[in-house]
Amino acid sequence: MRVQLLSLTTVLVLSFIAEKCRQLVGEESSSRSKTERFTFVNCFDMSYGTIGCILKELVKIYLYYIRATHVHKVRNEATKEAVQENLSKGQTLEDAMKTGQQVGNAAAKRASLQAKHIMGLMVSSGWDFFETVYVGGTLAEAIIRSVGTLLGSYIGGIIGEGKTRWLGFLLGSQLGSWIGGRLGLMLYDVGNGLQFLLHLTKTNKSDGENNSLLLISS
């Protein structure tokens, strides 16, 4: 309970600081993907939006193909090993085949879930990167947001899966993805604000030194 309260307090403090930093640097220099969004309509702009949507679907199809191939290989190997083991124990070929198929199907199910875990994280993180760049965000903002989404999805999925298995993973990864992306944007805005303050401090110091030189020379 104490850890959860500390985490919530940290997020609220970070959110407050990030908002102040956005006000400090101005709307044009703050995170763009916080207010701008890539929508389904952008897929029909016949430009980068259309290309992005097509690439996203192609990547999903390719990942689905890899998953299907991997699952098929895992099923066959698990079935073969189970059949050989059962035959060595003296079972008939029919019983060994029946047991082997059950073992293979169970192994294939586990492999499919594991592949889905990896695929979801990759697609979610990659899409957030593209969306940020599309709406006019900087490369740094896109990287920080996508990394936040990746870590949030992973952590949220693990926590959720430990509570209610696959449904928990689905809900946890979705919530973690959103929270991770938001935290990434907050960190980006805080970094922007600190950089702005550092630049302002250097400028004021330089102006002060120039004024001192002018007074001495006069």
Q: Which pair of structure tokens corresponds to residue 179? A: 């929270």
Nearest to 37 by CA among 161, 104, 120, 128: 128
- The yes-or-no verdict on residue 32 having pLDDT over 90 is no
pLDDT of res. 206: 67
Residue, of 12 and 213, whose pLDDT is higher: 12
Q: Of 5-14, 96-105, 199-208, give the lowest mean pLDDT range.
A: 199-208
pLDDT of res. 102: 92
pLDDT of res. 112: 83
How high does pLDDT run on average in the chain?
83
Element (H, E) at 77: helix 48-88
The residue behind tokens 């019983």 is 95
CB under 8 Å, gap of 24 or more: what pairs does 153-158 form?
Answer: 153/120, 153/121, 153/124, 153/125, 153/177, 153/180, 154/121, 155/180, 156/180, 157/117, 157/120, 157/121
Q: What is the pLDDT of residues 140-154, one digit of tens each?
A: 999 999 999 999 888
